[in-house]
């Protein structure tokens, strides 16, 4: 099992490094001049050249990449904003907790709605509950997060006036963003839970448990749901990245000062240090969530355990023969 975990950690680090290099190259090749963006259209060519020298944009590509990687790995420095000249690391540290709060509560809401409803629909297949839930799942899966955010804001903020439409001055300000993220994630979790539980219910060991007189609740919860949790956990881990991506859009709709508004503002201003730092932080968080999902799945799935136990025994036998 230790070998499996170390292998996953190595893959995670490789992915993070690949994303880091890809974003750096992509921004380097993007048309436009950040120095001109900072100074404005009225700046002279001499002023733009001086600003490019201050930003370090006049250096060769490999020199820029080397400076960036050196500052990142040896000084944990993501650079300073071109526009505000503030430390990107300090700004991200201030905004990440807001995004994580909204994202984690959105994930929790999606789990509380999607998985129990998916299990219920599988047990009550073709019932009214199942048909209505399937329709709602298709609707919320197909609906973009920004459109759902606008609709919820229109209904609950402007028509009913139950909740504030934007800002971040208390918990009531993040209720609509949490619901927006949670409903989209709940639809995906619902469809996965329903399909996997349906597959397990139709298997022979479930029919055998029923034939032995086991209570239906025990058959569903202790047999079908237990074995269906492996793909469900994988789906939950994958949905975290989607919910974080949706948080970037939702934060801009509701004017919440998180990573979403920070990144979008940086993209509009061509503020490369902020873009690189924001993408790196999101990539690290998503990679850690996927790593945790893989580790949990490995402890739950007996097939992974038995595989690495066999590999360990083979290695021991080969060492003995040597």
3-state secondary structure of 80: strand
Q: Is the pLDDT reported for residue 316 higher than 60?
A: no
Q: What is the DSSP letter of 174?
A: G
For range 154-177, the mean pLDDT: 88
* 193 in Cβ contact with 118 (< 8 Å): yes
Residue, of 271 and 41, whose pLDDT is higher:
271
30 pLDDT more than 90: no
Cα dihedral 195, 196, 200, 202 in deg (nearest 10): 10
Model confidence pLDDT, tens digit, residues 252-288: 888 888 888 888 888 888 889 999 998 998 888 888 8
> Is the pLDDT assigned to residue 308 strictly greater than 80?
no
Give dist(CA 260, CA 249) in Å, integer.
6
pLDDT level of residue 25 (50, 70, 90 thresholds): very high
**With bands split at pLDDT 50, 70 and 90, how would you rate the model's confidence at 313?**
low
Q: What is the pTM of this model?
A: 0.81
199-258 tens-digit pLDDT: 888 888 888 888 888 888 888 888 888 888 878 787 777 777 777 777 778 888 888 888
Average pLDDT over residues 64-89: 89
CA-closest candidate to residue 24, choices 73, 75, 55, 62 = 62
- Quote the mean pLDDT of the chain: 85
pLDDT range class, residue 1, cuts 50, 70, 90: low
pLDDT score for 275: 92
In b/e form, how buried is each residue of 284-299, taking b as 16+ CB within 10 angstroms? bbbbebbbebbebbbe
SS3 76: coil
The structure tokens listed for 114 are 């999607």
CA distance 321 to 90: 56
**Alpha-carbon gap, residue 78 to 231, rounded angstroms:** 37
**More confident: 145 or 276:** 276
Secondary structure of residue 32 in the 3-state scheme? coil
Domains of the chain: 92-272 (1.10.3720.10)
pLDDT at residue 228, as a whole number: 82
- Angstrom CA distances, 224 to 15, 134, 213, 227, 293, stand at 35, 20, 16, 5, 20
* Average pLDDT estimate for 153-162: 89
Q: Which two tokens stand for residue 24?
A: 């750096």
pLDDT at 304: 61
Which residue pairs from 103-107 have beta carbons closer than 8 angstroms and sit at least 24 positions apart in sequence? 103/181, 103/240, 103/243, 103/244, 103/247, 105/174, 105/178, 105/182, 106/177, 106/178, 106/180, 106/181, 106/182, 106/185, 106/243, 106/246, 106/247, 107/181, 107/182, 107/185, 107/236, 107/239, 107/240, 107/243
Q: What is the DSSP letter of 157?
A: I
Instruction: Please name which of 145, 155, 139 lies closest in space to residue 190, comparing C-alpha atoms.
Output: 139
pLDDT of residue 298: 75
Q: How many CB atoms lie within 10 A of CB 19?
A: 17
Q: What is the pLDDT of residue 17?
A: 92
């Amino acid at each position: 099992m230790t070998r499996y975990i170390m292998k996953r950690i190595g893959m995670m680090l490789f992915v993070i490094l690949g994303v880091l290099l890809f974003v750096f190259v992509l921004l380097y090749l993007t048309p436009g001049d950040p120095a001109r963006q900072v100074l404005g259209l009225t700046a002279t060519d001499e002023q733009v050249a001086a600003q490019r020298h201050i930003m370090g944009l006049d250096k060769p590509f490999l020199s820029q990449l080397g400076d960036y990687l050196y500052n990142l790995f040896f000084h944990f420095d993501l650079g300073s904003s071109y526009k505000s000249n503030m430390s990107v690391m300090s700004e991200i540290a201030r905004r990440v907790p807001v995004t994580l709060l909204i994202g984690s509560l959105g994930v929790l809401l999606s789990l509380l709605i999607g998985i129990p409803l998916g299990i219920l629909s599988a047990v009550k297949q073709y019932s009214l509950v199942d048909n209505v839930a399937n329709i709602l799942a298709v609707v919320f899966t197909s609906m973009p997060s920004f459109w759902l955010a606008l609709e919820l804001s229109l209904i609950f903020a402007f028509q009913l006036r139950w909740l504030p439409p934007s800002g971040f001055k208390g918990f009531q300000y993040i209720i609509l963003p949490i619901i927006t993220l949670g409903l989209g994630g709940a639809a995906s979790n619902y469809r996965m839970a329903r399909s996997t539980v349906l597959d397990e219910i139709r298997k022979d060991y479930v029919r055998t448990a029923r034939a032995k007189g086991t209570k239906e609740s025990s058959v569903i919860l202790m047999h079908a749901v237990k074995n269906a949790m492996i793909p469900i956990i994988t789906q939950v881990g994958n949905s975290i990245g989607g919910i974080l991506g949706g948080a970037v859009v939702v934060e801009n709709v509701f004017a919440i000062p998180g990573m979403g508004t920070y990144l979008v503002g940086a993209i509009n201003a061509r503020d490369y240090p902020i873009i690189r730092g924001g993408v790196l932080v999101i990539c690290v968080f998503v990679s850690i969530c996927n790593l945790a999902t893989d580790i949990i799945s490995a402890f739950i799935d007996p097939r992974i355990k038995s595989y690495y136990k066999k590999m360990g025994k083979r290695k021991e036998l080969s060492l003995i023969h040597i």
